[in-house]
Amino acid sequence: MFKFPQNLACLAVTLLFLDASANAIPKFHYARDVGKQLFPRLETNYVDCSAPDKARLKTGFADAAALGNIAFDMDQSSTAFTHYLRSEDASKAKSLWSMVAANNDPTNAPYTFSVRCAKKDDTSCKGGASLAITDAQPEDGAHAREMKICPLFFTADQTKNDLDSKKYDGDKRGSWCQKGQHFKDFETAGHTLLHEMTHLDSLAKAAGLPSRGEGGDASHGTDDVDGFGDDYVSAARGLLDAWVNHRDDLAEGALQPFQNAENIAAAATGEYIFVLNTDASPSLCCPRDMFR
């Protein structure tokens, strides 16, 4: 993953805005390299997406909304919360989850963005290694920022499942509750899309997050933390540990857990698995394993 210093996210202007932003510092959020509107959105918000890909994304955005709704009611004593967030992060995290869910009304959403399906030869998808790229620059006039969905999104293990792809069917092969699973076994397309949505300046600004960076690098959106390894889930836990146990070692203005996209997304996915077990007891889902 390409890194900028001081935990500034790796962003870049999307192809749609390259000409208009030729003199600006490029800002791209590269969503989780491999090895590393919610509910139906307005049809015009999807660009260059085939009918099957659009249907897949609509389900993913609906799942992101479901994750946000469940996470909003999360108790701070929940393991899903304590593995990724501090009590100081709670209000900002809840605001982010609320804003993700608030995009369920495409006619009156509190922020806007467009979705573009990238071509196979799109070089901004890092040679096929990225799932998605989100432009986190503040909106420029009437131009909504863009979330680019890379081809890998439609084939990768991290995004192959939706929330209803498996059942809560006890310790059976193919069940969400199968024993021995770890966090990545519970990831869904909605998890990645929630992660990506929090990068949007417009969403995070509506959620009340402070702006980070200066000049052309300033954005309210969440970041992707640097310095804790390439595994995004482990990095999220490492960031939390640094704030809880090694705060004096952190640089001034260091990224806080509520400002890291994966801390927000992972807590939401963990809480969903804990509480929305409509077909089985929550005890069947091996919560201790999923946080390893």
Q: What is the pLDDT of residue 25?
A: 27
Which stretches within the chain are classed as H helix? 51-72, 79-82, 90-102, 189-197, 201-206, 232-245, 261-275, 287-290
CA distance 246 to 242: 5
Q: What is the pLDDT of residue 170?
A: 66
Angle at 104 between CA 150 and CA 37, to 5 degrees: 30
Q: What is the pLDDT of residue 173?
A: 76
Q: What is the pLDDT of residue 195?
A: 96
Which residues in the chain show pLDDT less than 70? 1-44, 104-108, 168-171, 174-175, 180, 216, 276-292
Segment holding 146, helix H or strand E:
strand 146-149
Please indicate, yes or no, whether the overall pTM of this predicted structure exceeds 0.75.
yes
Q: What is the pLDDT of residue 276?
A: 58
Q: What is the pLDDT of residue 290?
A: 55
